[in-house]
Chain A
Amino acid sequence: MVSTQAAQAEQTSVESAEQATVEFEAKAIRQASRRGFLMALPAYGYLVLFFAIPLMIVVVYSFATRTSSGGTALSGWNLDAYRKLGEPIVRDILFRSIWIALLTTVLCLIIAYPFSYYLATRSERVRNVLLVFVMIPFWSNFLVRNYAWRVLLGNDGPVSQVTSAIGLGETRILFTPLAVIIGLVYGFLPFMILPLYAAIERIDWRLVEASRDLYASGFESFRRVVLPLSMPGVVAGSILVFVPSLGAYVTPEILGGAKTTLLGSYVVVQFLTARNWPVGASLSFVLMSVMLVTTLIYFRSGGRTL
Chain B
Amino acid sequence: MSSTQQMRGTTKWALNLNAVLVYLFFYAPIFLLVVYSFSNDNLVGRWGGFTFNWYREFAANDEVQTALSVSIKVAIISTLVSVVLGTLAALALERATFRGQRIFDALLYLPIIIPDVTMAVMMLLFFTQGINLLDSWFGIRLSKGVTTVTLSHIAFSISFVSIVVRARLDGMNQKLEEAAQDLYASRLQAFRYVTLPQIMPGIAGGALLALTLSLDDVVITQFVAGPGSTTLPVYVFGLIRRGVSPLINAVSVVMLAISVSLVLLSLILQRTRSGADAA
Contact = CB atoms under 8 A, between A and B. Distances in A.
Query: Does B bind A?
Result: yes
Interface size of B as a range: 35 or more
B233 A143 contact: yes
B267 A50 contact: no
Contact of B125 (A47, A54, A186, A254): A54
A241 to B, nearest CB: 13
The A contact surface, by secondary structure, is: helix
A288 B115 contact: yes
Contacts of A106: none
Interface string B186-230: 000000000000000000000000001001101100110000000
B121 A280 contact: yes
A42 B85 contact: yes
Interface residues of A, number: 89
Interface string A136-155: 11011111110111111010
Given A36-B97, A46-B158, A51-B122, A247 B244 contact: no
A53 interface: yes
Contacts of A144: 33, 252-253, 255-256, 259
Contacts of A99: none
- Most chain A CB within 10 A, of B116, B117, B123, B255, is at B117
Contact of A249 (B33, B112, B117): B117
Contacts of A115: 18-19, 22
A9 interface: no
Interface string B1-23: 11110111001001110110011
Contacts of B44: 150-151, 154, 157
Interface of A: 32-37, 39-40, 42-44, 46-48, 50-55, 57-58, 61, 111, 114-115, 117-119, 121-123, 130, 132-137, 139-145, 147-152, 154, 156-158, 161, 186, 189, 205, 208-209, 212, 218, 243-244, 246-247, 249-250, 253-254, 263-264, 267-268, 271-272, 277, 280-281, 284-285, 287-288, 291-292, 295, 306
10 contacts: A39-B89, A40-B98, A54-B125, A121-B1, A141-B258, A143-B252, A144-B255, A148-B32, A156-B46, A246-B115
